[in-house]
């Protein structure tokens, strides 16, 4: 069961796989058909299609 509907902007994500920089914590900047998330370590921005977001997210914390 997906939890996509629970994600909110400014929420905090821990990803299953680390980013190229080694960080695995992200901040949700925008939700929608494509999620816009920012790596908390290197500050790069990545877009994730909504149907992929549950596969990326290991844990989520509302802010």
| Binding positions for Zn ion, rule: CB under 5 A | 19, 21, 23, 39, 41-42
CB of 21 to Zn ion, least distance (A): 3
CB of 1 to Zn ion, least distance (A): 28
The residue (of 5 and 20) whose beta carbon lies closer to Zn ion is 20
Count, in order, helices (H) and strands (E) of the chain.
1, 5
- CA-to-CA distance for 26 and 18, rounded, in angstroms? 10
CB of 19 to Zn ion, least distance (A): 4
- CA-to-CA distance for 1 and 38, rounded, in angstroms? 25
């Amino acid at each position: 069961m997906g939890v996509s509907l629970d994600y909110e902007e400014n929420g905090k994500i821990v990803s299953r796989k680390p980013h190229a920089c080694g960080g695995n914590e992200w901040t949700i900047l925008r939700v929608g058909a494509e999620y816009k998330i920012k790596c908390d370590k290197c500050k790069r921005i990545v877009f994730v299609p909504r149907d992929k977001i549950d596969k990326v997210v290991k844990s989520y914390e509302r802010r």
